[in-house]
Amino acid sequence: MAVDIKHTYQGDLKLDLIAPNGTAFNLWNRTGGGTDNIIQTFTVNASAVPAVGTWKLRVNDNAAQDVGKIDSWSLTF
C-alpha cells in the first residue's frame, strides 16, 4: 500500500487501512514529529480478511493548527 499525504506536521496524523469487513490496520500513529508529508509504502498482512470489497484509507488529523490533503493512495494485492 502506498500513500502520498501532504501535511506540514506528520506527527499530527493517524492512518488506518480499513478492510471491507471493518478490520482496521494501523499504518501510522502520530509519529514523525514536525517532519512534512507522509510519502511511503507500507506492507500489511491482511491475509486473515477477505480481499473482495471496498477498502478505505482513514486519516485523522489530531491537531487544529494546520491542514493537509491526500494526494494519492493505492493498494496492491
What average pLDDT score do residues 1-14 get? 95
pLDDT of 55 strictly over 90:
yes
- For residue 53, the 8-state DSSP code is S
Q: Quick check: 72 and 1 in contact, CB under 8 A? A: no
Dist CA 1 CA 20 (whole Å): 15
Burial 47-68 (b: 16+ CB within 10 A, else e): eebeeeeebebebeeeeeeeeb
Dist CA 59 CA 27 (whole Å): 10
What pTM, to 2 d.p., does this model score? 0.91
pLDDT of 66 strictly over 90:
no
pLDDT at residue 65 in the model: 82
Residue 64's pLDDT band, with cuts at 50, 70 and 90, is confident
pLDDT of 58 strictly over 90:
yes
